Amino acid sequence: MDKIIMQGMKFFGQHGVLHQEKELGQRFEVDLVLELDLAEAAQRDNLAATVSYADVYRVVEEIVTGPPFHLIEAVAGAIARAVLENFAPLQAVTVRIKKPGAPVPGIFDYVAVEISRRRAG
């Protein structure tokens, strides 16, 4: 399966279990791997044979900057569902959400969740 990779999308959201995470918010980074057949797009040079990453970006942005979730697992699940529902050519998606400011004592780059979902059928 061919892939479109969208890496390092950054948004400000208010997801988290702790009150201050919902109150103050924080930065989230999202990476996507979109799996689909790109043969026709490559051969015909036609946007209609693929998906617009600008449109995918807007879907991700709406979810991450929208109503808060407690868990980044839930944010990742919402993104996976929305992307598969809104972009028919996609066969599968992998979503990685990084939370660089996670309220964890210690020194680290980020905490992340990665999920993969495949179109049913």
Active-site residue, selected from the candidate residues 10, 22, 98, 99: 99
Q: 3 an active-site residue?
A: no
Q: Which of 30, 28, 31 is nearest to 100 (CA)?
A: 28
| Integer Cα distance of 84 and 3 in angstroms | 14
- Helix then strand then coil, in percent of the chain rounded to 5, is 35, 30, 35
Q: Are 27 and 10 in contact (CB under 8 A)?
A: yes
Catalytic residues: 99
